[in-house]
Structure 1
Amino acid sequence: MQRPFTIPKNSVADLGDYLKMCACTAVMLQSVLALVLSTQPSTATQLGMGVLYDLVKFTAPAFIFGILYTSTRLSYPQTVSHYPQHLHQQWSALFVPTIWWTFAYLLIFPNVQQVTTYHSVGSFIWQFINGNAAPHLWYNTMMLQFILLMPCFWLLARWVNHQPSHAWLVTGLTIVGYAAWLWFYDANVWHGAQTQNWYLLDRLFISFVIYGIFGVLTWCYQDVLARWLHRGRWLIGLALLAVIGWTTQQLFSHGTPVSFANAPYYQPSMTLYALLIISVIAIIGWHQIRQQSRVLPVVHWLATYAYRAYLANVFWLQVLWRLGGQSLTGHPWLQIIGCYVLTWLLAFASAYGFHVAWSTVKQRLFTTQTAH
């Protein structure tokens, strides 16, 4: 008989799948809200959008947490000798889609560039690699660093697995180190003199390293954590409500018009919120995994295409905006609902469609080469 709160090792979907699916679904709403906010809706509408934006402001942490959880599960106990194979797999799965979609944004929708725009070959290359080609591509610049640093997380998993004292030490050092980073960022970038000069720090891996480390630790001790989270689920719910109140107060303390720039990830309230949301997703996900829910194949499918759908979402939002979304200005909630649903559908449809098309092309090329 299976022990209580033991997570099946051969489940169709894992916690990382749940986190990637939820993060991708929520982040598309961030894109829609930012675009609709640019139309300067009424103050009451802005306040409602601000609350909604804060509620989905967990996406990058959840993505990183989920990626490191699943990568550790699939690769443990690999060593540095497996690194070339790891890079080869991730090149086609992550790097190639990123390259193609970055080209698409820079060449088809150059108006969505951030901070500045390209005017030469050099500035084109700079916009390409720094994540400024579109509002959401900063995340890719940051996330791909974790893929390159994966051997470090393999070593971490080997060091803490079956060694609770090591896990507690890493947890303590991570919390202290990340708290110091948040203080540094607040003092020097967000509320400091280097807001413009050091903005690229938000796409440095260290700004999200706590979620990567905790993703590894969670895989190593998932049975224990599942039991703890289940027992403390009501406390987690109360804490989540309190933190939502905290983040909302912080955003609105800056007055109106509402600016989403006043809700950065790099503050204690947002860090707590992200970790609490991840905990809630874990409680739900692990419950369904233990019950072998019928939704597991759907969750896994959505997670498989989540990254590619994420890359595509701003592209399709721009298309929809030009085809009719912009004409709904004056009806912001209709804009938000319509653009969000259609963007989500088009993003996942294109992610799957391009995958099938490319797989077919590769198969035919391989068949042709073999025939010759």
Structure 2
Amino acid sequence: MATQRPAVQADIGDYLKLVACTSVMLQPIFSLALTTQPSAPAQVGIGFLYNLVKFTAPAFIFGILYSTIRTTINTDLTYGGYLKRMWHALFVPTLWWTSIYLLVMPWVQQVSRYHSVGGFFWQFINGNAAPHLWYNTMMLQFIFLMPLFWAIGRWCGTDAKRGWLAVGVTVLITGLWLVLYDTQVFHGPHMRDWYLLDRLFISFLIYGVFGTLAWQYRQVVNPWLQKWWLALVAGFLASFYWINRELFAFSFPVKLTNAPYYKPSMVIYDLIAIALVAALAVTQIQRRSRVTGFVHRFAGFAYKAFLSNVFWEQLVWLGFGKALTQNHVGLGILVTYVLTWSLSFASAFGIHFGWQWLKRMITKNKLPVGTAD
């Protein structure tokens, strides 16, 4: 008798969250590699690779909204119940890891450092506690705004006209926002004092709305992704050329801050990259591939691994990664990345199962009320 394959567990959101988490860990490593003053060709290579994975934050937002809408929109889950669930899944790990960065690794802070209690708490909430926590500040806004996306999903339903109207309004808002950011912030008059706009939810609104609609219109979206995947590949290559041309239009040394998310070229690139990952996910889910179980399992720990990745990256980098990168740029980046990814997910799994074991031991050894010593 043939071995029966396990039930499919993953969804498109799981694939996007895992791919985003796996890719985003490269970004701070690329930034560190540039501090070793590599050669011009090496800088070009780093710039290309940085742009290649410059879809991670949008993919994570899209994936979170897709999975959340799929599992909650047609249930009796209340907003309070949802926030309680998210408190344990997202907010508690955020509190712990942000504290670790500020207290144990204060040198990884961005923009400025705290010098008072007020400064500590400001760094805590504004996303400057570590290079990657700006994203955390932005993402948690979507958790609080989930009723908005439930409302969009329920209003649209499967009505095509309403769906296209939601798309049109979202694209218009995004376009106006990009114009504002390009003219006022990105090398604009408010580049320094308005920099926090990059972590305002509206900067990533399009990915949240599209993630919601991708689930609501899955009967149309999924076949479209599979039919037009080759065209998506062509669009991916064209948009990848576009964003690289923009990055390298600036003079050397290469500065990764010249490749922000908030440009029309990058939005197009990100949406196409998301669509390609989604197309792969749909194909594997339909085929009941064994890898879907792995994706679902690791996607569940992706956020916690993401939170810890800069901590492990710093240990590896300061231990031997920097010296290795100075002598062999590519090898140093690869080794630092592999160890960072492995330690990040190992810590996420380890802390989870360690906590579960501790709770079982406490429950097992707890004396009933009224029992004598």
In the superposition, the TM-score normalised over structure 1's length comes to: 0.95
- Pairing 1:163-182 to 2, within 5 Å after superposition: 163-182=159-178
Letter matched to residue 269 of structure 2: Y
Structure 2 residue matching 1:191: 3-state secondary structure:
coil
Cα distance, 1:78 vs structure 2: 4.4
Letter matched to residue 90 of structure 1: M
Instruction: Percent identity, please.
Output: 51
Cα distance, 1:369 vs structure 2: 4.8
Structure 2 residue matching 1:39: 3-state secondary structure:
coil
Cα distance, 1:188 vs structure 2: 0.7
Say yes or no: does 1:212 pair with 2:213: no
Greater shift, 265-274 or 361-370, is seen at 361-370
Say yes or no: does 1:236 pair with 2:228: no
* Residue number in structure 1 paired with 2:4: none
Letter matched to residue 71 of structure 2: L
Letter matched to residue 163 of structure 2: A
- Pairing 1:52-71 to 2, within 5 Å after superposition: 52-71=49-68
Structure 1 residue matching 2:10: 3-state secondary structure:
coil
Cα distance, 1:199 vs structure 2: 0.5
* Residue number in structure 2 paired with 1:19: 16
* Residue number in structure 1 paired with 2:251: 255
Letter matched to residue 210 of structure 2: F
* Residue number in structure 2 paired with 1:322: 318
Aligned partners of 1:77 and 1:154 also within 8 Å? no
Correspondent of 2:115 among 112, 119, 128: 119
Cα distance, 1:173 vs structure 2: 0.7
Structure 2 residue matching 1:169: 3-state secondary structure:
helix
Measure the CA separation in 1 of the matches of 2:75 and 2:189.
Answer: 43
Greater shift, 286-295 or 351-360, is seen at 351-360
CA RMSD of aligned residues (A): 1.2
Aligned partners of 2:247 and 2:259 also within 8 Å? yes
Q: Runs of at least 4 residues of structure 1 off by over 6 A?
A: none
Measure the CA separation in 1 of the matches of 2:169 and 2:185.
Answer: 23
Measure the CA separation in 1 of the matches of 2:212 and 2:365.
Answer: 43
* Residue number in structure 1 paired with 2:48: 51
Measure the CA separation in 1 of the matches of 2:205 and 2:357.
Answer: 37
Cα distance, 1:44 vs structure 2: 0.7
Deviations for 1:69-114, whole angstroms, at most 9, x for unmatched residues?
00000101247x7011101100000000001000111111110000
Deviations for 1:291-318, whole angstroms, at most 9, x for unmatched residues?
0001011101110000000001100000
Give the count of matched residue pairs.
362
- Pairing 1:1-372 to 2, within 5 Å after superposition: 11-78=8-75, 82-328=78-324, 329-369=326-366, 371-372=368-369
Structure 1 residues 370 and 273, CA, compared in 2 at 3 Å: closer, same or farther?
A: farther
Letter matched to residue 338 of structure 2: V
In the superposition, the TM-score normalised over structure 2's length comes to: 0.95
Measure the CA separation in 1 of the matches of 2:238 and 2:109.
Answer: 36
Measure the CA separation in 2 of the matches of 1:75 and 1:65.
Answer: 15
Structure 2 residue matching 1:86: 3-state secondary structure:
helix
